[in-house]
């Protein structure tokens, strides 16, 4: 087999390109298959994120209530949430309805209740996942105390809430009053599915983030 220098050089170059591509394909393919077949539950809050004794007040004092205005968007920079909000009603059982699950980046707020920023308890809910995979509040259980939740309001303002606690509650004996009950200051609850998971019943509870208004802009 006789070759000129030029073809030899070209052959060497082609070989090293193919070797590189092969190595890259091997590692990225292995990573993709590993990620694709892994079964990992969404993050759940640790005990240290529960409400502190003494009513769970964070260091920041509450801000003055804002006038009522419907919210348009929720942002939680710490867990990369930036999603539009739709109005939610109640189901026939009296539980909070949820946004359509096919939209993975969509959350909702209970529009017959308090608007976020107003005095009282405003409620926001969104999916942790849908049939395709993780959804808007997939990482909610990993949120920590002291983090900021921003709610964009239709009046052009942004209500800033600070996280007081992140809890997980079982569907059985759900603490309705604690989660949905009236508050003397402007508060926010952000709810998604959480707790143990079983194929028959799905997620067995909810992750609930408790926050209160600490500012506005």
Interacting positions 149-188 with other proteins (CB under 8 A): 169, 171, 174, 176, 180-182
| 86-115 binders of other proteins (CB under 8 A) | 87, 89-90, 93-96, 98, 101, 110-115
Listed ranges 46-54, 57-65, 71-79, 135-143: which one lies at the site for other proteins (CB under 8 A): 135-143
Phi, psi angle pair for 118, to nearest 5°: -75, 160
Interaction mask 15-34, other proteins, x per CB under 8 A: x--xx-xxx-xx-xxxxxxx
For 168, the enclosing helix (H) or strand (E) is strand 158-170
| Interaction of residue 45 with other proteins, rule CB under 8 A | no
- CA distances to 76, 81, 99, 129 from 104, rounded to whole Å, are 16, 11, 9, 7
Could you say which of 128, 163, 188, 211 contacts other proteins (CB under 8 A)?
128
Contact 85, 74 (CB under 8 A): yes
Q: What is the Cα–Cα distance from 116 to 100, expressed in whole angstroms?
A: 21
Q: What is the Cα–Cα distance from 204 to 195, expressed in whole angstroms?
A: 6
Q: How far is the CB of 79 from other proteins (least distance, A)?
A: 14
| 56-85 binders of other proteins (CB under 8 A) | 68-70
Q: How far is the CB of 55 from other proteins (least distance, A)?
A: 20
């Amino acid at each position: 087999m006789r070759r000129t220098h030029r073809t030899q050089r070209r052959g060497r170059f082609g070989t090293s390109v193919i070797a590189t591509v092969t190595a890259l394909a091997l590692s990225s393919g292995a990573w993709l298959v590993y990620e694709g077949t892994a079964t990992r539950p969404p993050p759940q809050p640790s005990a240290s994120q529960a409400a502190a004794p003494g009513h769970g007040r964070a260091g920041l004092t509450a801000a003055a209530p804002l006038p009522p205005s419907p919210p348009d968007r929720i942002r939680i920079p710490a867990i990369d949430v930036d999603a539009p909000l739709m109005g939610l009603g109640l189901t026939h059982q009296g539980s909070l309805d949820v946004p359509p699950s096919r939209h993975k980046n969509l959350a909702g707020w209970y529009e017959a209740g308090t608007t976020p920023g107003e005095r009282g308890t405003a409620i926001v809910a969104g999916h942790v996942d849908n049939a395709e995979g993780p959804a808007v509040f997939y990482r909610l259980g990993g949120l920590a105390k002291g983090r900021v939740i921003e709610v964009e309001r239709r009046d052009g303002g942004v209500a800033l809430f600070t996280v007081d606690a992140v809890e997980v509650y079982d569907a059985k004996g759900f603490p309705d009053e604690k989660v949905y009950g009236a508050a003397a200051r402007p508060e926010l609850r952000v709810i998604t599915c959480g707790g143990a998971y079983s194929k028959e019943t799905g997620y067995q509870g909810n992750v609930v983030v408790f926050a209160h208004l600490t500012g506005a802009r």
